[in-house]
């Protein structure tokens, strides 16, 4: 399939080594990942080879969210967004777009920066790497909490989506991983952390207050298409004050306020089950480059056993509608 649009595709600036610690990964593998994070022309060559028309770029995790000082986060977010616009997108303007990196440590400043990126630089939304550190590495602010409300109001006003990307669980919440540190990141901990964060958003009443807000989850929804029916069922038997102020069951929000991408998951059975749960209008193609290979994921998607109509929607037209992009040549 030609003209695919991918939207969990990461970058890093030499001025801000945003990737944090990856002591549990193989050194040679991660060295090549970091090289690709900082290279743009090779990325476009990989896109050409795999029928990908547009990459939507995002600063890699933990990114701005891992900065513990709010003032430094505000300054670095602006610098990184300028870098993305001037050094990456401007080099290949017909092939690359960008998500804003935002200082959620200061939500009103994050709203201002999102507006600058969208209105002045043509960014298509924001990607947020989970919780934001406030003051130290063990203190977090999650996106459902009251101080973040001005940010969500701006998101709805601008009409752009927010990609909720994983990061490693808080250091003081990692006891269950001791002795199995390889599970902390993308192998397991990422999904556990992000799926719980997404459920917090659903239960908080966010989508009742802001029904036009759309959140994107990678990795085919961080297992939520499979686990939320159980959550719906059990919450019916629990006291209302124990699970937030939501007006609808969680699966309602998944099907109406969330999109999921194929990033890092190239298994046909999982995709088919996801389609049965949420429908093809809410699924988007992505790779998770350079942590995953376009050469591996794109050929799988092109050949996976779904209808050509669904392939076009997932691979291209859903993203065109969501981001207001000009139609790609199929």
Q: What does the pLDDT read at residue 22? A: 58
Q: Is 184 exposed, middle or buried (0-12, 13-18, 19+ CB in 10 A)?
A: buried
Residue 154, in any domain of the structure: yes
Is the per-residue pLDDT at 24 higher than 80? no
Is 159 part of any domain? yes
User: 109 lies in a domain?
Assistant: yes
Decide if pLDDT at 162 tops 90.
yes
pLDDT at site 93: 97
Say if residue 62 is preceded by a cis peptide, omega within 30 of 0: yes
pLDDT given for residue 74 in this prediction: 98
Task: Classify residue 258: in a domain, yes or no.
Answer: yes
Helix (H) or strand (E) holding 6: strand 4-11
Would 329 be classed as within a structural domain?
no
CATH code of 114's domain: 3.20.20.140
330 found inside a domain: no
Specify whether the CB–CB gap between 160 and 124 falls below 8 A: yes
Which of 46, 55, 288, 310 is labelled catalytic? Answer: 288
**Contact in structure between 318 and 291 (CB atoms under 8 Å):** no
Query: In angstroms, rounded to a whole number, what is the distance separating the alpha carbons of residues 81 and 85?
Result: 6
Mean pLDDT, residues 19-42 taken together: 83
Of the given ranges (61-65, 194-198, 201-205, 319-323), which has the lowest mean pLDDT? Answer: 61-65
- Per the CB < 8 A criterion, the answer to whether 191 and 219 are in contact is yes
Whether 38 and 30 have beta carbons less than 8 Å apart is answered as no
CA distances from 12 to 19, 34, 35, 67, 81 (A): 8, 8, 9, 15, 11
- 288 catalytic residue (yes or no): yes
**What is the rounded average pLDDT of the residues 303-324?**
98
Containing domain of residue 143, as a range?
4-323
pLDDT of res. 31: 87
Which one is predicted more confidently, 23 or 179?
179
Q: What is the per-residue pLDDT for 21? A: 58
Mean predicted lDDT score pLDDT of the chain: 95
Q: What percent of the chain has pLDDT over 70?
A: 97
pLDDT at 18: 65
> What percent of the chain is modeled with pLDDT above 90?
92
Query: What tokens does 205 get?
Result: 């009443």
The confidence band for 35, taking pLDDT boundaries of 50, 70 and 90, is very high
Residue 219 is predicted with a pLDDT of 98
Q: Kindly write down the DSSP assignment for every residue of 49-102, as one continuous string.
A: HTTEEEEEEEEPSSGGGG-S-HHHHHHHHHHHHHHIIIIIGGGSTTTEEEPBP-
pLDDT at residue 161, as a whole number = 98
From the CB of residue 201, how many other CB atoms can be counted at a distance below 10 Å? 24
- Closest listed residue to residue 6, CA positions, set 61, 43, 60: 43
d(CA 127, CA 275): 24
The pLDDT-based confidence of 27 (bands split at 50, 70, 90) is: confident
User: Number of structural domains, the chain?
Assistant: 1
pLDDT: is 18 or 244 the higher one? 244
Q: Is the dihedral of CA 326, 327, 329, 330 positive or negative?
A: positive
* Coil/strand/helix, residue 128: strand
Phi-psi region of 48 (alpha: psi -120 to 50; beta: other; left: phi over 0): alpha
Residue 210 lies in a domain: yes
**Domain assignment present for 130:** yes
């Amino acid at each position: 399939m030609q003209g695919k649009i991918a939207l969990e595709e990461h970058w890093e600036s030499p001025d801000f080594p945003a990737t944090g610690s990856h002591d549990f990964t193989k050194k040679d593998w991660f060295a090549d990942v970091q090289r690709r994070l900082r290279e743009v022309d090779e990325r476009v060559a990989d896109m050409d080879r795999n029928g990908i028309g547009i990459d939507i770029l995002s600063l890699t995790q933990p990114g701005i969210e891992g900065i513990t000082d709010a003032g430094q986060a505000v300054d670095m977010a602006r610098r990184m967004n300028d870098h993305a616009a001037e050094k990456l997108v401007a080099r290949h303007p017909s092939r690359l777009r960008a998500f804003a990196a935002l200082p959620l440590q200061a939500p009103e400043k994050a709203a201002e920066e999102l507006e600058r990126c969208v209105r002045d630089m043509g960014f298509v939304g924001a990607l947020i790497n989970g919780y934001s550190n406030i003051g130290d590495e063990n203190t977090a602010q999650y996106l459902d909490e009251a101080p973040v409300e001005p940010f969500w109001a701006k998101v709805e006003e601008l009409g752009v989506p927010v990609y909720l990307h994983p990061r490693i669980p808080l250091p003081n919440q990692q006891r269950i991983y001791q002795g199995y540190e390889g599970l902390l990141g993308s192998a397991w901990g990422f999904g556990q952390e992000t799926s719980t964060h997404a459920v917090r958003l659903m239960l908080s009443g966010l989508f009742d207050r802001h029904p036009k807000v759309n959140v994107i989850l990678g990795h085919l929804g961080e297992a939520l298409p499979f686990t939320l029916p159980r959550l719906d069922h059990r919450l019916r038997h629990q006291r209302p004050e124990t699970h937030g102020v939501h007006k609808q069951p969680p699966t309602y929000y998944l099907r109406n306020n969330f999109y999921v991408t194929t990033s890092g998951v190239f298994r046909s059975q999982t995709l088919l089950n996801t389609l049965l749960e949420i429908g093809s209008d809410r699924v988007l193609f992505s790779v998770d480059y350079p942590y995953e290979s376009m050469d591996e994921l794109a050929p799988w998607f092109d050949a996976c056993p779904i209808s050509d109509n669904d392939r076009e929607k997932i691979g291209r037209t859903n993203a065109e509608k969501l981001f207001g992009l000009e139609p790609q040549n199929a």
